[in-house]
Amino acid sequence: MTPAESESEKKVGARTYSYYPGCSLHSTGAEFDVSARLVCQKLGIDLRELEDWICCGASAAHSTDHLMSLALPAHTLKLAEAKGLPLAVPCAMCFSRLRFTLHEIKDKNTLDLVNRAIGTELGEPVAVESMLQVLADESISLPITKPLNDLKVACYYGCLLARPPEVVGIDDAENPQIMDRLMERLGAETIDWGLKTSCCGAGVAFPRLDIVLKLSHRILSLAQRSGADCIAVACPMCQANLDMYQKDMTAKFKQKTELPVLYFTQLMGLALGLSPKELLLDKHFTDPLPVLREKEPT
Amino acid sequence: MSQQIAISLKPDNQFLSFVQSHTGESITACYQCGKCSAGCPTAYTMDITPRRIMRGIQLGLKDELLDSSAIWLCVSCQTCSLRCPREIDIAKVIESLRQLSISEGRRPAQKDIAILYSAFMQQVRFFGRIYEAGFGLMYNLRSLHIFNNMLRLPSLFSRGKLKLKPVRKGASEVKQIAARVKELERKKG
C-alpha cells in the first residue's frame, strides 16, 4: 500500500460510500460502472468496492425462492455493515433487491430466518442508496464545463427505481422527477412523456424476446415521437433491452427505431468534461455520438 | 390470448386461506375493479389476467392458477401492486403462486422462463456471481434453443460486454447459504 492509499483508507469524508457494482456492471453494463466511478471521482465522492460481494439473486431468486432472495442480498448487507459506510448501488435490480431485503427484515420472524440462512446476525441496517439518489443530491455542486445545451433527454426510470415507493424511496412513483432535475442541472432539456416508469420487458429476453421487443419498442417509439434526442437510464437491464434490439424492432414493427440510450452517469460525465471515449460511449449499439456532436456548442 | 376457465366453486377453500396466510395479503378484499390487468405490461399475452387470478384464488381454483402461463409471464414490475385501490400486493401474490407451483413440482406452462431462472440460480451457486456468457450458454443448452442469440455474440464480445473468463467469488458462501435455506424450508414444510 502506498502512503497515499493508506491515507485515503483513513480519511472517511462525508461523501464516502461502500460500492456494490453487481454482476451486470462487470460485464454487459460496464459503461455504467466506469461512468459512475469517473463522475464520482470528479465530484469528490469516494467509492470503495466491497471485495467479496455476491450476486443479489435478481429476478431468478425472488421468482423461485423467497428466502433465498432475501439471504443473498443479506450476505452483501453484512459485508457492508462491517465497513460502517452507506452503500451506493448503481444497478436498479441490485438496489431493489437490497432495499426489499431491508424492508422485509423489519419483521422479526423474517430477520430471524434470514440470519439463520446467512449464518450470522445482521446488526444496524445499512443505508442503501441508488447511484441516482447519490448523484441527484442537490447539495453536490456540479463543476460543469460542457453543458448539455439543447439536448432533449427522455428520462426513463423503469420499474425498479420507482416501485414500490415505500421500499425504494422515490419522489413520485408514477411521474418521478429526480433524474429530470439532474439532467436539467446539466443544461439539458427534459421531455415530458408518459412511459417513464413503464416496464421494458425485464429479464425475459432469452425465452420471450417478443415481449421485450413489444414493450421496449413502445417506450422507444413514444420517446422518439416526443422529440427526444436520447433516453437516459439508470438500469443495466433497461439499457440492454432498449439499446440492443433496436434493429430487430425496426424489422419487426416496420418503423425505424433508432434512439441512443445512455446511462445518466454518461451524460453527467460529458457535462463534467469527460471524453466520450473514457465514458465508453462507443460501446452502445445505437451510436450516440452523431446526435451529441450535433448539439455540441460551437 | 385469453381463454375461458371453467368455474367450479369449492366450498372448502383451503387454497384461499393458504395464499392469504402465506403472503399476508387480503385476497378477499379484491372487488374486481381490473386496474391491475389494465396496467399490466404482459397481460396481453397471459392466459389468466391479474384480475382473474385474484378472482380465481377467491374461488379456490388452485390447479387452473398453478398450471397457468400467467404466473410465469408476470415480470414483477409491481405496477398492479402500486395501483391497487384495495392495497393488495398483487405482484407478491402472483410470485407466491409461482413459488408454490415450483415447490409442488408442477410442469411450468412457460418452460423456457422456468429454465431461465433455474439456469441463473445455477450460475450463482457455481460462481457466486453471474458469468453472463456461461449463463447464456447454459440457458441455450437446457432449453434446447442452442443457437439462441448466437448471431449477437460477435457484437457483444467486440464491445467487451461479454467476457471469456468467468470470475469466481463467494461461490462457497452462496453454496452454504443455499444449503441452509433448503434446510430451513424443509423444516418449515
Contact A101, A74 (CB under 8 A): yes
State the CB neighbour count (10 A cutoff) for residue A43.
Answer: 17
Provide the pLDDT for residue B6. Answer: 59
DSSP string, chain A: --HHHHHHHH---TTEEEE---TGGGTTTHHHHHHHHHHHHHTT-EEEE-TT-----HHHHHHH-HHHHHHHHHHHHHHHHHHTS-EEE--HHHHHHHHHHHHHTTSHHHHHHHHHHHTS---SPPPEEEHHHHHT-TTS----SS--TT-EEEE--TTTTTSSHHHH--S-SSS--HHHHHHHHTTPEEP--S-TT----TT-TTT-HHHHHHHHHHHHHHHHHTT-SEEEES-HHHHHHHHHTHHHHHHHHTS-----EEEHHHHHHHHTT--TTTTTGGGSSS--HHHHHHHS--
Nearest CA of chain A to the CA of B5: how many Å? 24
Indicate the residue of A66, A198, A206 with minimum beta-carbon distance to B116.
A206
Domain A15-132 has CATH 3.80.30.20: no
Provide the pLDDT for residue B148. Answer: 87
Q: Does the beta-carbon distance from A211 to B177 stay under 8 Å?
A: no
Provide the pLDDT for residue A113. Answer: 97
Provide the pLDDT for residue B12. Answer: 61
Q: Does the beta-carbon distance from B132 to A27 stay under 8 Å?
A: yes
Q: Residues of B with CB below 8 A from A283's CB? A: 159-161
Nearest CA of chain B to the CA of A183: how many Å? 25
A256 touches chain B (CB under 8 A): no
Burial A106-129 (b: 16+ CB within 10 A, else e): eeeebbebbbbbbeeebeeebebb
Indicate the residue of B120, B155, B161 with minimum beta-carbon distance to A27.
B161
Q: How many residues does chain B have?
A: 189
Q: Rounded CA gap, B115 and B59, in Å? A: 30
| B43-49: average pLDDT | 98
Residue of chain B nearest A165, judged by CA positions: B82
More confident position, B186 or B4:
B186
CATH code of domain A144-295: 3.40.50.11810
A82 touches chain B (CB under 8 A): no
Provide φ and ψ at A52, rounded to 5°.
-105, 35
Residue A87: closest CA among A21, A27, A157, A147:
A21
Residues of chain A with CATH 3.40.50.11810: 144-295
Q: Does the beta-carbon distance from A65 to B163 stay under 8 Å?
A: no
Q: Cis peptide leading into A164, omega within 30 of 0?
A: yes
Q: Does the beta-carbon distance from B110 to A53 stay under 8 Å?
A: no
Provide the pLDDT for residue A296. Answer: 77
Indicate the residue of A55, A119, A204 with minimum beta-carbon distance to B128.
A55
CATH tag for B14-103 (out of 1.10.1060.10, 1.20.1260.10, 3.40.50.300, 3.40.50.620)? 1.10.1060.10
Residue A32 zone, left/alpha/beta (φ > 0; ψ -120 to 50; rest): alpha
Q: Does the beta-carbon distance from A283 to B128 stay under 8 Å?
A: no
Provide φ and ψ at A247, rounded to 5°.
-65, -40
Q: Residues of B with CB below 8 A from A59's CB? A: 75-76, 117, 120
Provide the pLDDT for residue A195. Answer: 97
Contact B51, B99 (CB under 8 A): no
Q: Rounded CA gap, B104 and B89, in Å? A: 23
Provide the pLDDT for residue A7. Answer: 47
* Domain spans in chain B, listed from the N-terminal domain onward: 14-103, 111-188
Q: Does the beta-carbon distance from A117 to B181 stay under 8 Å?
A: yes
| Lowest mean per-residue pLDDT among A73-82, A229-238, B84-93, B179-188 | B179-188
Q: Does the beta-carbon distance from A283 to B96 stay under 8 Å?
A: no
| B102-106: average pLDDT | 95
**Per residue in A124-165, pLDDT tens?**
999 999 999 999 999 999 999 999 999 999 999 999 999 999
Indicate the residue of A64, A159, A244 with minimum beta-carbon distance to B77.
A159
Provide the pLDDT for residue B159. Answer: 86
Residues of chain A with CATH 1.20.1050.140: 15-132
More confident position, B167 or B34:
B34
Cell digits of residue B116:
431461465
pLDDT higher than 80, residue B76? yes
| B126-138: average pLDDT | 90
Contact B84, B119 (CB under 8 A): no
Residue ranges of chain A whose pLDDT lies below 50 = 1-8
Q: B78 pLDDT band (50/70/90 cuts)? A: very high
ipTM score assigned to the predicted complex: 0.91
**Per residue in B9-34, pLDDT tens?**
565 689 999 999 999 999 999 999 99
Q: B162 pLDDT band (50/70/90 cuts)? A: confident
Q: Residues of B with CB below 8 A from A26's CB? A: 129, 163, 167
Indicate the residue of A23, A118, A283 with minimum beta-carbon distance to B160.
A283
Helix axis angle, A66-83 to B90-103, nearest 10°: 110
- pTM summary value: 0.93
What is the torsion angle, in degrees rounded to the nearest 10, for the CA atoms of residue A236, residue A43, residue A162 and residue A91? Answer: 30
Indicate the residue of A54, A60, A174 with minimum beta-carbon distance to B173.
A54
Contact A73, A98 (CB under 8 A): yes
